[in-house]
Amino acid sequence: MTATELEDLAGRIRPGEELPLERLREYLRPVLGAAAGELEVTQFPGGHSNLTYLLSSGDKQWVLRRPPFGSKVKSAHDMSREYRILSALKDVFSYGPVPAHFCDDHDIIGCDFYLMNYIRGLVIRREYPPGLNLSPDQTRRQLFNFFDVLGDLHSVNLAEAGLENFGRPVGYAQRQVEGWIRRWENAVTEDTVNCDAIIKWLGDHLPPDSGRASVIHNDYKLDNMIFSLEDPLKVIGVLDWEMATVGDPVMDLAYTLGYWVQTSDPDWYREARTMPSDVPGAPSRAEIVSRFRERTGIAVDNFPFYFCFALFRLLVVGQQIYYRYYHGHTRDERFAGFLHKAFVLQKMCELIISGKIED
Task: Tell me: do 178 and 275 sit in the same domain.
Answer: yes
Domain boundary among 47, 82, 117: 117
Asked if the model's pLDDT at residue 299 lies above 60, the reply is: yes
Reported as a single tens digit per residue, the pLDDT across 72-112 is: 545 556 899 999 999 999 999 999 999 999 999 999 999 99
344 with 273: CB under 8 angstroms? no
Is 15 inside a domain boundary? yes
CA distances from 320 to 121, 157, 188 (A): 30, 33, 8
The number of distinct structural domains making up the chain is: 2
Residues 6+ apart with CB under 8 A from 258: 307, 310, 311, 313, 314
Is 122 inside a domain boundary? no
Task: Tell me: do 162 and 106 sit in the same domain.
Answer: no
Strand partners, 96: none
Task: Tell me: do 50 and 146 sit in the same domain.
Answer: no
Residue 71 confidence (pLDDT): 57
Handedness of CA 10, 12, 15, 18 (dihedral sign): positive
Task: Tell me: do 277 and 202 sit in the same domain.
Answer: yes
Q: Alpha-carbon distance 139 to 280, whole Å? A: 8
Which residue, among 172, 178, 171, has the nearest Cα to 202 in the 3D structure? 178
Task: Tell me: do 296 and 326 sit in the same domain.
Answer: yes
Task: Tell me: do 298 and 347 sit in the same domain.
Answer: yes
* Structural domain span for residue 37: 3-117
Give percent above pLDDT 90 in the chain. Answer: 81
> Residue 306 carries which DSSP code?
H
Between residues 357 and 60, the one the model is more confident about:
60
Pairing mode of beta strands 60-66, 99-103: unpaired
pTM greater than 0.95 (yes/no): no
φ, ψ of residue 102 in degrees (nearest 5): -120, 140
Task: Tell me: do 112 and 180 sit in the same domain.
Answer: no
What's the pLDDT band for 288 if we cut at 50, 70, 90? very high
Give percent above pLDDT 70 in the chain. Answer: 96
Is 86 inside a domain boundary? yes
Task: Tell me: do 111 and 149 sit in the same domain.
Answer: no
Task: Tell me: do 108 and 177 sit in the same domain.
Answer: no
Which residue, among 47, 62, 38, 39, has the nearest Cα to 17 in the 3D structure? 47
Reported as a single tens digit per residue, the pLDDT across 312-354 is: 999 999 999 899 888 988 878 888 889 999 999 999 999 999 9
Task: Tell me: do 201 and 68 sit in the same domain.
Answer: no
Asked if the model's pLDDT at residue 40 lies above 70, the reply is: yes
Is 289 inside a domain boundary? yes
Is 123 inside a domain boundary? no
The angle subtended at Cα 226 by Cα 90 and Cα 5, nearest 5°, is 140
CATH of the domain at 189: 3.90.1200.10
Reported as a single tens digit per residue, the pLDDT across 152-166 is: 999 999 999 999 999
Is 220 inside a domain boundary? yes
CA distances from 353 to 150, 267, 349 (A): 27, 19, 6
Task: Tell me: do 113 and 165 sit in the same domain.
Answer: no
One DSSP character per residue, 207-268 reads: PPP----EEE-S---GGGEEE-SS-TTSEEEE---TT-EEE-HHHHHHHHHTT---TTS-HH
Q: Alpha-carbon distance 219 to 255, whole Å? A: 7
260 with 315: CB under 8 angstroms? no
CATH of the domain at 46: 3.30.200.20
Which residue, among 169, 298, 313, 170, has the nearest Cα to 246 in the 3D structure? 169
Domain boundary among 117, 144, 174: 117
Domain boundary among 66, 82, 117: 117
Asked if the model's pLDDT at residue 195 lies above 60, the reply is: yes
Residue 221 confidence (pLDDT): 96
Asked if the model's pLDDT at residue 4 lies above 70, the reply is: no
Is 88 inside a domain boundary? yes
Is 282 inside a domain boundary? yes
Task: Tell me: do 268 and 190 sit in the same domain.
Answer: yes
